[in-house]
Amino acid sequence: MAVFTSVSLDDVQAWIAQFPLGDAVALKGIASGIENSNFFLTTELDGRRTEYVLTIFENLGFEQLPFYLQLMRHLATRGVLVPEPVPTHAGELCVPLHGKPAAIVSKLQGSSQMAPGPVHCAAVGAMLAKMHLAGQDFPLHQPNLRGIAWWHEAAPAVLPHLSEPETRLLRSEIHYQEAFHGSDLHKRLPHGPVHADLFRNNVMFDGERLTGFFDFYFAGCDTWLFDVAVTVNDWCVDLDTGVLDEARVRAMLDAYHAVRPFTADEQAGWQCSLRAAALRFWLSRLYDLYRPREAEILTPHDPTHFERILRERVAHPAPGLLP
Ligand SMILES: Nc1ncnc2c1ncn2[C@@H]1O[C@H](COP(=O)(O)OP(=O)(O)OP(=O)(O)O)[C@@H](O)[C@H]1O
Ligand SMILES: N[C@@H](CCO)C(=O)O
């Protein structure tokens, strides 16, 4: 989206007094993204101009936001490259603007790399491992809100819209994942705060230099392996076929492993996790496509892309976690 809530520079000039950022001197709506209203905000303090991102949360409430914003802050202070939320004079990371929760975070340099090569995948893998380790002592807990409990809620809403082969695939995969999620193996997988949506459009690069992960608003606690699987399923696929590109997979996994070595249990759970990650986005895209909407205008993402990826992961084993 873009901008659901319209905000003028005048509105922000009064509002920004609660932050230690000086004056607001420019505000520009950002025309991508589908969840929130985002703006580039320029402030001036002691003659120095700095750019930030102002986000107005359209669907998230004040009760969920501390997990995301505190997590970003926790990670930033441990050297993980993520936007750092700016606290108000009173120490709040999130305050109302036009009646909705809003936050100011630091602006990452660069742009998204939408045609990544092995060098980009290696940088993402290494930073992801660093992020998982840095999140280990994060004190807040929130489940992955798009995890298996949500799959059980969402499936009945989309099933009436599906063809016979789609219905069979969805039912059988949920059944398969219930067994995996209920297994002792799954309980032994290392877990903690995960990004859970680390797609190409949620990472910034300046050339080959990774400048940060952003859009933490699907983060939650889950297995680290699930996060790796979500990331591989987006960064390392041929977008037309869903087939994994071995060179990119190896680059990402080897770089991750060099920072945080995979366990034997993770090797055993890898193929199941790739399927879980494909199912999660197939289902959320179906749900966004079919659920009744109010006045909201959205261009839903294509669910068939993740149906193809899921069928591909079921049919062919992916490259292993270790070479
Ligand atoms: N901290 C940041 N630094 C630089 N640019 C940012 C930052 N946060 C957001 N952006 C820019 O704003 C755009 C939209 O942000 P984001 O993807 O978080 O929006 P969203 O509505 O949550 O989107 P999505 O559709 O991915 O859920 C990004 O593509 C990026 O260009
Ligand atoms: N990354 C998600 C969109 C929500 O951020 C998708 O591609 O379906």
ipTM, two decimals: 0.94
**Which ligand has the minimum distance to the alpha carbon of residue 84?**
1
**Which ligand has the minimum distance to the alpha carbon of residue 202?**
1
What's the CA-to-centroid distance between 33 and ligand 1, angstroms?
6
What's the CA-to-centroid distance between 154 and ligand 1, angstroms?
26
pLDDT at 293: 57
Is residue 322 domain-resident?
A: no
How many angstroms separate the CA atoms of 248 and 21, rounded? 41
Domain check: are 161 and 256 in the same one? Answer: yes
Kindly report the CATH number assigned to the domain that includes residue 79.
Answer: 3.30.200.20
Domain check: are 82 and 184 in the same one? Answer: no
pLDDT at 298: 60
What's the CA-to-centroid distance between 281 and ligand 2, angstroms?
7
pLDDT at 295: 37
Domain check: are 280 and 140 in the same one? Answer: yes
Domain check: are 101 and 124 in the same one? Answer: no
Domain check: are 158 and 184 in the same one? Answer: yes
pLDDT at 235: 98
Domain check: are 154 and 270 in the same one? Answer: yes
Residue type, 160: P
Domain check: are 101 and 125 in the same one? Answer: no
Domain check: are 98 and 126 in the same one? Answer: no
Which protein residue has the closest C-alpha to ligand 2 atom 5? 197
Kindly report the CATH number assigned to the domain that includes residue 159.
Answer: 3.90.1200.10
- Domain of 72 in residue numbering reads as 9-106
> What are the C-alpha distances in Å from 323 to residues 42, 202, 213, 254?
47, 27, 26, 8
Domain check: are 100 and 202 in the same one? Answer: no
Domain check: are 138 and 55 in the same one? Answer: no
- Report which ligand 1 atom has the smallest distance to the Cα of 217: 22
How many angstroms separate the CA atoms of 105 and 99, rounded? 19
**Which ligand has the minimum distance to the alpha carbon of residue 3?**
1
Q: Is the dihedral of CA 249, 206, 83, 96 positive or negative?
A: negative
What's the CA-to-centroid distance between 197 and ligand 2, angstroms?
7
What's the CA-to-centroid distance between 290 and ligand 1, angstroms?
24
Last residue of a domain, one of 106, 133, 163: 106
Decide if 224 contacts 93 (C-beta within 8 A): no
Domain check: are 82 and 144 in the same one? Answer: no
Last residue of a domain, one of 106, 135, 159: 106
Is residue 320 domain-resident?
A: no
Residue 32 Cβ contacting ligand 1 at under 6 Å: yes
Which protein residue has the closest C-alpha to ligand 2 atom 7? 301
Q: How many domains is the chain built from?
A: 2
How many angstroms separate the CA atoms of 111 and 227, rounded? 22
Is residue 20 domain-resident?
A: yes
pLDDT at 296: 47
Is residue 1 domain-resident?
A: no
Per run of 10 residues, the mean pLDDT along the chain (length 323 residues) is 74 96 95 82 97 93 92 98 98 95 97 98 98 98 97 96 98 98 98 98 97 96 99 97 97 98 98 98 94 58 96 97 92
What's the CA-to-centroid distance between 302 and ligand 2, angstroms?
10
Residue 285 Cβ contacting ligand 2 at under 6 Å: yes
Domain check: are 178 and 280 in the same one? Answer: yes
pLDDT at 144: 97
